[in-house]
Structure 1
Amino acid sequence: MLTLTENATLVIKSITGVEGAPEGAGVRISQENPADPTLAVTTTEAPKPGDQVVEEAGARVFLEENAANALDDKILDAAVDDKGGVEFLLVPQAGAAPTV
């Protein structure tokens, strides 16, 4: 299952914890085509039916089925640049078998 770094947790909470955001809002990661490695990241009020929910220290990530499969052995990290832009990074979990 996808895990979150402390940085990712803080960034996600800052994105979804803005004033007026509904309780339980999170970041949703989706992948339209399993053969295409492109992932879409959006903020959303709640998971969609079938989404896997990853929750860590108050940060919520909703994974669409294809994305959940693609990210099963990954760690999500995040960084904020000096202009306030957010960049998400994926790294393999220690001991994870390489993806073929």
Structure 2
Amino acid sequence: MLTLTDNAAAVVRTLTQQIAGETGGLRFSRQPGMDETLTIRAAAAPEPGDQVVEQDGARVFLTEEAAAALDDQILDAVVDAGGSVHFSVAPQQPSA
């Protein structure tokens, strides 16, 4: 299952509280025909069939396709000097 870094959780929490309210989250979906591309948007609530990842007060909603693509991944986020948010994913490291 997708996990979030502390930075990602803070960014998701901040964005969704500003845009989608307390029950909202960021929704990740995959566009048909775009195998490597994920779309991210603020959502007031998960849609039917979405997987919900909650971590440190941050909520991420994943479509079935996005959940499969992000399984066993870590979501990170950075905010650049201009205020733009950049998300990245990396494989989770196995526990020792």
**TM-score normalised over the length of structure 2:** 0.92
| Residue aligned with 2:67, SS | helix
> Structure 1 residues 34, 95: closer, same or farther in 2, change over 3 A?
farther
Name the aligned partner's letter for residue 9 of structure 1: A
Query: What is the root-mean-square deviation in Å for CA atoms of aligned residues?
Result: 1.8
1:33 positional shift: 3.2
Corresponding residue for residue 69 of structure 1: 68
Q: How many residues align?
A: 95
Q: Is the 8 A contact 2:16 2:22 kept in 1?
A: no
User: How many Å separate the matches in 2 of 1:26 and 1:51?
Assistant: 12
1:17 positional shift: 1.2
1:27 and 2:26 aligned:
yes
Which runs of 5 or more structure 2 residues have no equivalent in the other structure?
A: none
Task: State, as a whole percentage, how many aligned pairs show the same letter.
Answer: 53
1:60 and 2:59 aligned:
yes
Moved over 2 A (4+): 20-23, 32-35
Corresponding residue for residue 11 of structure 1: 11
| Residue aligned with 1:9, SS | helix
Corresponding residue for residue 49 of structure 1: 48
Name the aligned partner's letter for residue 23 of structure 2: G
Q: Is the 8 A contact 2:24 2:42 kept in 1?
A: yes
